[in-house]
Structure 1
Amino acid sequence: MRSRLITPNVSETKLSTRGFHEKSPEARDLLEKVGEMFLTGYAYAAEARTPAEAEERLEQIPPRFRGFAYEGAGMGFAVLDATPLSRGPKVQRFLEGKGGDQIYLIYVGVGWAMARLPKFLWPKLHLPDPLLRYLALDGYGFHQAYFSTDKYVRGQYQDPHFPWPADAPAGYANRVIDQGIGRAMWFVGGTDVEVVTKMIREFPESRRGDLYAGAGLAATYACGAEEDELRAFRDLAGEYRPQLAQGSAFAAEARVKPGLVVPATEIATQVFCGVTPEQAARVSNDSRPDQPNQGDVPGYEVWRQRIANQFVSLGGVSP
């Protein structure tokens, strides 16, 4: 009963419902399957007596879609943590099992919960890592662009006073939210690289790098485009190719860490980064800063810049 009450209807993930571009039946089916698996993971969390019980079911989902289910479960447990009758941090216990290998997806899922919960409940959410907590903003941005597309994509809305995290430099949260919006654009555009590129180019130049980072992440993790399409997307990105590679490397690490690499991800990292998913994941992992902040620059931004610069240095990406 709890699952039925709090789990969104799967019809909300249909491209026709959302009004998203349909490139082909294959691309449509893939993106709708991603949405279905997200909601499956959400429902598993809602139904489970313990995170371990949900984990057992999540591990049965095919590798290509398992990460999306963990993301949905991250949202589900975060929503439960914020309820008045919560019995402790379920997200924390979720991360102590196999969820630890899906930590990036789970933090993104917590960001989905932020988008659905009133702001006064945000302090109840479990986001202790000062670096990875910014991934919740990616999830928040994806949610807003996915469900409020007219406002956040076509209207290019930004909240000039976004309140979280309180210690972030003024305006920085919007940059990571833009990464999530760019990731959602891959879905809004139906994995059609020309449509996605056109949407990004309609944004101010100051926002395009973060949008390309998100789109590169989605193109590598969710996939949905052939090699020639990815090459075209890389070429169309122009000066933002380093950001495209950075997003791709994030996606690679998110798939390599739990052992969920698929052939489409291998093609994407080769096109965007010039390396294998394992090598791209190593660049991402090795670029992580030791401190959450570097002066006035958030560690998360240092991390992203290091990754982008590393691929330029390796020669696989030209700015």
Structure 2
Amino acid sequence: MPPILGTLRRLVLTPKLRAVTFARRGFPGASAPAAEHLESIPQSVICGFEWGIEHRELWDVERRLATVAPELRGFAYEGAAMAFAVRDAMAGGKGTRTKVLLEGPGLPHIFLTYIGIGFAMARLPRVLWRGIMPDLENVPFFPTMSWLAVDGYGFDRAYFHTRKVVDEQQPFKPYPWTGRPDYFPRAADQGVGRALWFIHGALPDRVAAAVAAFPQARQADLWSGVGLAATFAGGCPADGLADLTVAAGEHAAELALGATFAGTARLAAGHVPEHSRLGVEVLTGGSVEDAVTVAASVAVEADDAGTEESPAYELWRERIRDHFRRPVSKAA
């Protein structure tokens, strides 16, 4: 039985499942065929958060997470990582729950647990961000992929503050994440691109129109987020994904980049659903295994700090984009 304090944390901090439904959020994609499927994703995040914010022992949380269907389990781990990051912050930054989770049972879902930390950032004042990302040991792609936390922050802001972030397109204020405040808004925009997939119910024409409404300078990062969400979350048939590639035009390689990261994350977690295989195949032209090979072959070294122009994370992304850049077919 959880302690009273854990129960109070759960009651006070856990969002209601209905709060993340598209209808409640007023999303234009609320009536889309894929809406119910997509809504199960943030609801799985909430379940993971609820378990993580309430229970004292990691074992209790881990066993509950194991009951979630493999397709959704990574999202539940996102929620648990979010809860642990909040609890560590509440402990004055001295907590170790997030580190233990990411180095332990959350390791197969490391891409998503990074994102979960970003969800916590969206609910904490910036003064508490300094120590929110633990120093991880023996974790692949660390600290390079820790930028996914900023991606998660951008997604959360777009999902819950849609009018400001999407409709009014208010830019993100820079923050020196890994010492690179200049790249922070770009990484956050990648999360906004993922959110657009949900907001518009995985309807390719509406998602493409939403991206096109942003300034040209922001569209490349938005498209990579769209590619990641389209592949990892799914919700769109093959012909719709093909239409998405045409709509992306010169940014088709950004879609392939996002799909590559999604395929890599799915394979690392040990379960690749059919919609993720489909997304990789349509958006990259190859298999999930091919995409993972591409990502691994051009990965930056763990101690690579990047260049003056780009952090190591963006250098890796650029190498993947270069692999997929090819002549773009014109719509008839």
TM interval, short-chain normalised? over 0.9
* Unaligned runs of at least 5 residues, structure 2: 1-6, 136-141
Contact 1:73–1:109, Cα closer than 8 Å, also in 2: yes
Distance in structure 2 (CA, Å) of the matches to 1:107 and 1:181 = 16
When structure 1 is superposed on structure 2, of 14-23 and 135-144 the one drifting more is 14-23
Q: Does residue 192 of structure 2 align to residue 181 of structure 1?
A: yes
Query: Alpha-carbon deviations, 1:77-118, whole Å to 9, x = none?
Result: 110110037773101110222211111100110001011001
Aligned residue in 1 for 2:65: 58
1:130 CA drift (Å): 2.7
Aligned residue in 2 for 1:150: 163
Residue identity opposite 2:324 in structure 1: F
Moved >3 Å (runs of 4+): 23-26, 84-87, 315-319
Contact 1:67–1:105, Cα closer than 8 Å, also in 2: yes
Aligned residue in 2 for 1:246: 257
Q: Does residue 273 of structure 2 align to residue 268 of structure 1?
A: no
* SS at structure 1 position matched to 2:78: helix
When structure 1 is superposed on structure 2, of 283-292 and 249-258 the one drifting more is 283-292
1:49 CA drift (Å): 1.6
* SS at structure 2 position matched to 1:218: helix
Aligned residue in 1 for 2:306: 294
Aligned residue in 1 for 2:215: 204
Distance in structure 2 (CA, Å) of the matches to 1:70 and 1:138 = 16
1:180 CA drift (Å): 0.2
Q: Does residue 139 of structure 2 align to residue 132 of structure 1?
A: no
When structure 1 is superposed on structure 2, of 53-62 and 79-88 the one drifting more is 79-88
Residue identity opposite 2:305 in structure 1: N
Aligned residue in 1 for 2:114: 107
Distance in structure 1 (CA, Å) of the matches to 2:219 and 2:258 = 13
When structure 1 is superposed on structure 2, of 108-117 and 78-87 the one drifting more is 78-87
In 2 relative to 1, CA 318–135 (structure 1 residues): closer, same or farther, beyond 3 Å?
farther
Alignment size in residue pairs: 315
In 2 relative to 1, CA 43–316 (structure 1 residues): closer, same or farther, beyond 3 Å?
farther
Query: Alpha-carbon deviations, 1:47-98, whole Å to 9, x = none?
Result: 2222232112112211111111111111111101100377731011102222
Contact 1:104–1:132, Cα closer than 8 Å, also in 2: yes
- The percent of aligned pairs where both chains have the same amino acid is 37
Query: Alpha-carbon deviations, 1:29-64, whole Å to 9, x = none?
Result: 111111110101111111222223211211221111
The correspondence for 2:44, drawn from 33, 37, 41, is 37
Residue identity opposite 1:194 in structure 2: D
Residue identity opposite 2:149 in structure 1: A
Query: Alpha-carbon deviations, 1:250-299, whole Å to 9, x = none?
Result: 11111000112000111110100011112212222332201332221200
Distance in structure 1 (CA, Å) of the matches to 2:271 and 2:88 = 28
In 2 relative to 1, CA 138–281 (structure 1 residues): closer, same or farther, beyond 3 Å?
same
TM-score, structure 1 length as denominator? 0.94
Distance in structure 2 (CA, Å) of the matches to 1:280 and 1:165 = 28
* SS at structure 2 position matched to 1:82: helix
In 2 relative to 1, CA 79–266 (structure 1 residues): closer, same or farther, beyond 3 Å?
same
Residue identity opposite 1:114 in structure 2: M
* SS at structure 1 position matched to 2:99: helix
Distance in structure 1 (CA, Å) of the matches to 2:249 and 2:258 = 15
Give the alignment's Cα RMSD to 1 decimal: 1.9
TM-score, structure 2 length as denominator? 0.90
**Superposition map of 1:3-14 within 5 A:** 3-14=10-21
* Unaligned runs of at least 5 residues, structure 1: none
Aligned residue in 1 for 2:139: none
Q: Does residue 156 of structure 2 align to residue 172 of structure 1?
A: no
In 2 relative to 1, CA 317–78 (structure 1 residues): closer, same or farther, beyond 3 Å?
farther
Q: Does residue 235 of structure 2 align to residue 216 of structure 1?
A: no
